[in-house]
Structure formats: structure tokens, C-alpha cells
Amino acid sequence: MNVNSDDLPSELGNKTRLRKSLRAARRMLTPEDQSKAAEDLLTRLLEVDLFTQSNRIALYLAHDGEIDPSRVIHWCQINFRHSYLPIVKQEKGRNWLMFGEVEPNSQFQKNKFGIQEPVIDQSALLDARELDLVLLPLVGFDRRGNRIGMGGGFYDTTFEFLRQSANRTPELIGVAHEIQKITSVNAESWDVPLTMVVTDQAVYRLMP
């Protein structure tokens, strides 16, 4: 099924409604659409030096219609890159992410949000500062790199140190279906900026 992002509402200050519309649009994609988008996402990323030259790369497992990076994970594994998946951490009202390396024989379990996480000893988890690159899923984005996430604040909390430092390690690349691009998103003060956004159809370079 083809979905035209021009049919989706622009940012009008109601991110809850906009988030709902964008999530519904990506869930309407057929399995064939999703498979093609996954192949094309890898193709676009292989055009990006920042991706091909990174060693420790964090990704995610697709959920709720997100663009599927499983082919990207496979590419990392056969090209001797280390690939990591987020592990949700919550303590005293604070939400953040640690990262566990995923391998072909990794075991998984669902977290409280129903998302699969690798089963890894706590001592083997990586802190966000130890990564080279993070591919994070988006609900929506605009050409300036402003983004809408799921609303839990996990990525913004985890990478808030990037807003307070000139050091851009790790670099953050948002990934999404092209249909998730909208005219405008109001940036929030706590949003951690992206280096670029990569979709199944385009690479949007946002920062030097």
C-alpha cells in the first residue's frame, strides 16, 4: 500500500495527535512495502561514510511499523562491525538506555513495552558514551532534523550529554520511512540533535 506523507497533518502543537497519525500510517504499509523499505534503507546507509566507517553501532529491533534495520544488523555482523541493541533501564522515575551486543546466537526476551531485548549479563552492557554511531527510530521528522519520537524520552535522556559538549560521539542518525517526513516539527529544548536522517528513499544531511 502506498501512503502519501502529504496527506498527514503538519505540526500544529499537538504531538500526541500527530504521533498517532504517523504511527498509523507506517502500520498501514504492507509486508512487501516493509521488506522493500528495509532493503532500501541498507542501500542508503551504505552511501554514508559515517555508517560504513563506524565500528560500534547501536540499532534497534523494529516494532509498531518502524522501518526494519535487520538487514543493517546482518551487514554489520558479516562486515566485522559490532552491533548493539538498546536495553531499557528505569530507576527512581528516570528512563534511559544501555546497550547490549547482538550476535547471531543471541537470546531475546520482551521488556515491559513488549519489545525484544538481548539477554546479556549486566556487566557486559555498554554505556552510550562507548558507541560510535546510533541509528534511532523516528515517528516523524522534518527536513531540518527536528523529530518526533515515541514520547518516552529514553533517547533524549540517554544522550543528553551530547547537548552539553562539543564532542559529537556517538553520532546520531535518525531512520524512518520516507512517509514519516512532514512539513514541520516544533523542536523541544530537551531534544538531542541528529547528525542526519536516513530513509528508504533519501539521506538528509543536517549537521557538518
List, by residue number, the catalytic residues. 147, 156, 191
| Residue written as grid cell 502543537 | 13
CA distance 135 to 85: 10
Closest CA to 139 of 184, 201, 181: 181
Half-sphere exposure of 185 (CA within 13 A, CB side): 27
Asked if residue 170 has a cis previous peptide bond (ω within 30° of 0), the answer is yes
Closest CA to 198 of 177, 169, 170: 177
Half-sphere exposure of 98 (CA within 13 A, CB side): 14
